[in-house]
Amino acid sequence: MAETQIQVEETLEPPNQTTPLINKDQQNHKNSEDPQSQNQEYDENTHLDKALLKLESFLAFLGFNQSKVVSFLLSWLAFLCISIVVPVLMLELSSCEGCEKAQIKSFEIDIVVSQALLGAASLLCLSHNLRKYGIRKFLFVDRCNGRMERVSDQYIAKIKESLRLLVLWLLPCLILKTTREVIRVLYVHHESWWHSVAILLAFLVSWTYVTTVFLSACIVFHLVCTLQIIHFEDYGKLLERESDAMVLIQEHVRLRHYLSKISHRFRIFLLLEFFIVTVSQFMTLCQTTGYRGMVTFVNSGDFAVSSLVQVVGITLCLNAAAKISHRAQGIGSLASTWHAYLTCSSSDTSQARVPNSNSIPNFEACYINNSESDVESLDITPMFGNTQLASYLSSYHKRQSLVTYLQSNPGGITIFGWTVDRGLINTIFFIQLSLVLFVLGKTIVFGST
């Protein structure tokens, strides 16, 4: 049922194509801007285009650009060669008798397979979305052209921050991987040092490419969620200055529509990522705890490096999804505060001039006493009070309906109806903990007895 709803939302356009975050006065002022302001807006759009072009070029270098048949074939051919053929060939060339102290071939094969599966899932899902939507539509840039002059700088900053985040997480893992490979080369002796260095570089190039592909897909998902957080922050600012409930509802419907699209585009990637990481960790525990020999950092250090990369990718995805889900769920609290503030302010300002139901004069008594002052009181005071009271109650009910709508439709990143928030993260954590304890009980406790 949830999948059908998401598919319908995917095909439908947002119900409101206007830009409610910009009022009419701002739009009229924008039309009368001087040429200097227009040139500044053009420069901002140019900078945003350059940032998007750099991001698209980086993804194309990794093989995510598969818009043509030739690029599709070359991308997957390069991925298969670098992620599978090269490491397996290097393992065969570096194998020797008595090398168990430096490397265990069964461990290395499982690590290569798990890394290749994560890289293939990332390459498949992200390249499909980029081929279908393009980089601008994929990041919802074209749909925000009415407000891009305000958020273009934030978009550029978030894109640069995402690339820095990729480098920040990739470098420690690369240093750890390089250290492990150098130690392994010292233990495994080959015919010449050039042979050892070539194997070392081949392992590092293969691992770096596959890890970068996997982490890049996680970073792109993190970037998409972070860019939408900008619009939720704008929505919070809109509550501070906008009193029209219909405008607020239309804007929130647009934001929920974008969240449903993000969920639809990344749900398969998230499910494959969770499944592959869980199976990989399960096999790691089974092999390391069930192995009868000596397990050290030298012969099984790749397990630690692979687990670290997987944890980083899962953390990036869950952090971004939970952050935007809780930001969307917090809109209801902001709307309740806004409703209470306007209600109390309206009550305080209109208390002296809006009579309550008990203070409305008796119409029959006014008709009996036909003095001039009573007639003036009948013509003016009761009618004015009823009009103000009706207007006040009308705006109150509109605000109340908005608050009820926001609390009933919080939105967020979902996976087939399951919202990715703290509750789901706690569920995943305890499932993984139960799996770990189960494996340890089967391998260590039963093995020792």
pLDDT in tens, 166-179: 999 999 999 999 98
> 170, 292 in Cβ contact below 8 A?
no
Residue scoring higher pLDDT (361 or 299): 299
pLDDT at 370: 42
- d(Cα 253, Cα 77) in Å, to the nearest integer? 43
Residue 391 is predicted with a pLDDT of 58
**Reported confidence tier of residue 427, pLDDT bands at 50, 70, 90:** confident
Whole-angstrom distance, CA of residue 326 vs CA of residue 413: 10
pTM here is 0.78
Residue 449, pLDDT score: 47
Most confident option among 274-278, 287-291, 399-403: 274-278
Highest mean pLDDT among 13-17, 57-61, 182-186, 227-231: 57-61
Q: Judge whether residue 12 has pLDDT over 50.
A: no
Q: What is the pLDDT averaged over residues 300-327? A: 89
The residue among 287 and 317 whose pLDDT is bigger is 317
- Residue 119, both tokens: 């890289």
Question: Is 373 a residue whose pLDDT tops 50?
Answer: no
- Reply yes or no on whether the pLDDT at 390 is more than 80: no
Q: What is the pLDDT of residue 187?
A: 76
Q: What are 323-354's pLDDT values in tens digits? A: 998 888 888 888 787 778 777 876 444 443 44
Q: Residue 259: left (phi > 0), alpha (psi -120 to 50), or beta? A: alpha
Of the candidate ranges 128-142, 260-274, 398-412, the one whose mean pLDDT is the lowest: 398-412
How far, in Å, CA of 264 to CA of 286, rounded? 34
Average of per-residue pLDDT across 110-130: 93
For the cut 70, the answer to whether the pLDDT of residue 364 exceeds it is no
Please tell me the distance from the alpha carbon of residue 383 to that of residue 73, in angstroms, as a whole number. 78
pLDDT at 212 over 60: yes
The two tokens of residue 107 are 């461990």
- Whole-number mean pLDDT of the chain? 77
| SS3 at position 171 | helix
Residue from 207, 204, 203, 227 nearest 215 by CA: 207
Report phi then psi at 163, rounded to 5. -65, -40
- pLDDT > 90 in the chain, percent: 31
List the Cα angle 83/85/86 in 5-degree steps: 75
Q: What is the pLDDT of residue 143?
A: 54
Decide if pLDDT at 382 tops 60: no
Measured CA to CA, the distance from residue 343 to residue 340 in angstroms comes to: 5
Q: Which of 360, 361, 358, 348 is nearest to 392 (CA)?
A: 348
Residues 6 or more apart from 313 whose CB is under 8 A from it?
118, 214, 215, 218, 273, 277
Asked whether the beta carbons of 292 and 376 are under 8 A apart, the reply is no
Q: Which residues of 123-139 are buried (b: 16+ CB within 10 A; e: fewer)?
A: bbbbbebbbeeebeebb
| Residue type at position 210 | V
At residue 45, the pLDDT reads 64
Q: Are the C-beta atoms of 313 and 118 separated by less than 8 Å?
A: yes
- Please tell me the predicted confidence (pLDDT) of residue 422: 84
Mean pLDDT of 423-434: 84
The answer to whether 59 and 216 are in contact (CB under 8 A) is yes
